Structure 1
């Protein structure tokens, strides 16, 4: 995952399948791939016989530059791979909600700090690398200093508590991290993400429901209408309360769209908590029989009780554009931004007039970027680490598209239908009906600016 802390990792190319000894429990080539990646990212080559560090510098450069294959390097060094020091430490499969799934195996390697060869970061292969005590890394995550995916958090937690060998059984059982039937996905402390199946716009198939807070918590956007999905969510919330001490005190909504509110009435009843939203969202939901019990307004600060004496402050931000009553939530200590449908981790954001307003949308993106959030938690898709940069990218992309629309107008094209091949030639035609609505939104903004008649 881009921007996250992780050990060396790689896929299994066909060329490595004959390099390691057959292992009944592991796919062919997997161990060789692990050892190749270890060599690429750290410079450590586990081989028989061993090779001194000086002799490995040029082969490593050649491998990273794509000038020689790993098999050719091993042949040239007259060595074979030695996996005897690797200890199998578990298997993790990415949950179905992710746009790209991985079937990962993890290994432990004990490497003495006084060994002649020591890991060295190669510029361009990874951003940085260091020896880190698991307890220090775990505490760094708890402080919000680093972003890490669930497998890495589990490894850090177990090794910091039990050590790598005593904790081996726990490492090999990823199920320990689950909250009931759902995976514990907590990239940042106090932001639990539960992707649930909803009737949303493809390619997204899920909406992210969040549990925000470390003791006193709020449930954000329970959007699924599925009984099965809501049963799973209720079981996960019960497990979060029992295991983590996280108690739901309210339901907060980012906006009124069905894929963000589908489970509201069921969850209100099962949890016995009030529902809060922006007044404009409350007005829209009232016509569909969904009651809103309290208001969320721009600039409102809510301080949730956190772990120990630590408060958990959340800033409410009114961000119209996608919807008139859209709000986002900024956790102010670690700058985690729950962005609703302002930004998508998968797919794209639709600004659909008259409810959607491109001028408002761009202004809301600027407002969020100016707050310099650290990590962005979207309504759909995976977490985004460089939140401010992603918001700036969205602004730049929309303005670039707008210039294409303005140019098409200058060329004599007037209707959104006629502009589609000119303006959205980079989009698949099945997306053109939604793209047409974006053109309408941009044309309204251009008229407001006086750039077109």
Structure 2
């Protein structure tokens, strides 16, 4: 088992859970998150963003968000079918599997401008970094328009073959806001440029996973972000366990292609609230297999 410290928001919720006794946890909302990757001289890099408001995905996380009702409207689809995706994700709910895939591509488009869609099964849309596309992203983010309508307007189909399933994490029972998160991975398309959403982007950039993991006990990343809830914070306090473990594996991978082609079981993980030897709350999760070469360490 591995143990992770709780951040400030989690400590409050954990104490309330302990004080009032165990009860039925709130129903988690389904969400998707995408680990966007590219190779660099410093090793494999991934794009991370600041998420305000005590997000269950973590204060610093990969692009992502909740499934929306309008995700069912997306019908233009190339690559593995929803049935194949359900099998890959280990679920019998084909509709839910489809919504997770659509939400992953939609959320990545909203937050980064990267769009895994094209006019056919062998091409991707290009030149989507102008003001017209930013307005489209803003409109989808505020739900003034839908992702499906945008794809239809430009004659685009989702390139679901460019997504790879990674892992499945559920928020601990005591959390006030709980997510059931499917993590995916994708390589940055060479013909698309990344940009933060104008109305919501506070901080986001490509980071070297190896460098972030190496400085995990310092506050260098939190200080760079410069927000009241990040300054002085170590990596443990900024990330949820699932994101930290994914970062470890990215840091140990031998490049983007190797990471994306690695065959991995889609196990479901849910941190459990425990008390350590010092009487402090912490999160405990089963040790994730290190077959990708990641160095998992005990806390």
TM-score for both structures, normalised by structure 2: 0.55
Q: Aligned residue for 1:6?
A: 61
Looking at structure 2, the residues matched to 139 and 174 of structure 1 have their Cα atoms a distance apart, in angstroms, of 27
Distance 1:141 1:68, change over 3 A: same
What 5-or-longer segments of structure 1 have no aligned partner? 176-181, 184-193, 197-208, 212-217, 223-231, 237-242, 247-453
* 1:106 and 2:165 aligned: no
What 5-or-longer segments of structure 2 have no aligned partner? 1-53, 90-95, 120-124, 221-234, 288-295
Give the CA deviation at 1:244.
Answer: 4.9
Which residue of the other structure, out of 19, 24, 27, is the alignment partner of 2:86? 24
Distance 1:166 1:52, change over 3 A: closer
Which residue of the other structure, out of 165, 175, 197, is the alignment partner of 1:88? 165
Looking at structure 1, the residues matched to 115 and 134 of structure 2 have their Cα atoms a distance apart, in angstroms, of 11
C-alpha contact (below 8 Å) 2:59/2:239 kept by paired residues: yes
Looking at structure 2, the residues matched to 155 and 171 of structure 1 have their Cα atoms a distance apart, in angstroms, of 14
C-alpha contact (below 8 Å) 2:134/2:198 kept by paired residues: no
Q: Residue deviations 1:134-182, cap 9 Å, x none? A: 112212333244411101100111111234635845684566xxxxxx8
Q: Aligned residue for 1:158?
A: 249
Looking at structure 2, the residues matched to 166 and 158 of structure 1 have their Cα atoms a distance apart, in angstroms, of 9
Looking at structure 2, the residues matched to 81 and 63 of structure 1 have their Cα atoms a distance apart, in angstroms, of 16
* 1:123 and 2:193 aligned: no
Q: Aligned residue for 1:220?
A: 279
Distance 1:173 1:30, change over 3 A: closer
Q: Aligned residue for 2:133?
A: 56
Which residue of the other structure, out of 55, 61, 75, is the alignment partner of 2:152? 75
Distance 1:170 1:153, change over 3 A: farther
Q: Aligned residue for 1:263?
A: none
Give the CA deviation at 1:220.
Answer: 2.1
Distance 1:44 1:244, change over 3 A: closer
Looking at structure 2, the residues matched to 68 and 151 of structure 1 have their Cα atoms a distance apart, in angstroms, of 31
Looking at structure 1, the residues matched to 165 and 155 of structure 2 have their Cα atoms a distance apart, in angstroms, of 27
Q: Residue deviations 1:401-452, cap 9 Å, x none? A: xxxxxxxxxxxxxxxxxxxxxxxxxxxxxxxxxxxxxxxxxxxxxxxxxxxx
Give the CA deviation at 1:96.
Answer: 1.7
C-alpha contact (below 8 Å) 1:158/1:171 kept by paired residues: no
Looking at structure 2, the residues matched to 36 and 91 of structure 1 have their Cα atoms a distance apart, in angstroms, of 19
- Runs of 4+ in structure 1 off by over 3 angstroms are 163-175, 243-246
The alignment partner of 2:160 has SS state of coil
The alignment partner of 2:61 has SS state of coil
* 1:149 and 2:226 aligned: no
C-alpha contact (below 8 Å) 2:114/2:188 kept by paired residues: no
| Structure with higher RCO (Cα < 8 A, 6+ apart) | 2
Distance 1:173 1:150, change over 3 A: same
Which residue of the other structure, out of 197, 212, 234, is the alignment partner of 1:137? 212
Q: Aligned residue for 1:15?
A: 70
Looking at structure 1, the residues matched to 268 and 142 of structure 2 have their Cα atoms a distance apart, in angstroms, of 36
Q: Aligned residue for 1:339?
A: none
Give the CA deviation at 1:59.
Answer: 1.8
C-alpha contact (below 8 Å) 1:40/1:125 kept by paired residues: no
Looking at structure 2, the residues matched to 37 and 81 of structure 1 have their Cα atoms a distance apart, in angstroms, of 13
Q: Aligned residue for 2:19?
A: none
Q: Aligned residue for 1:33?
A: 103
The alignment partner of 2:64 has SS state of coil
Q: Aligned residue for 1:195?
A: 273
User: How many residues of Structure 1 are paired with residues of Structure 2 in the alignment?
Assistant: 193
Distance 1:159 1:88, change over 3 A: same
Distance 1:143 1:174, change over 3 A: farther
Distance 1:245 1:138, change over 3 A: closer
CA RMSD of aligned residues (A): 3.2
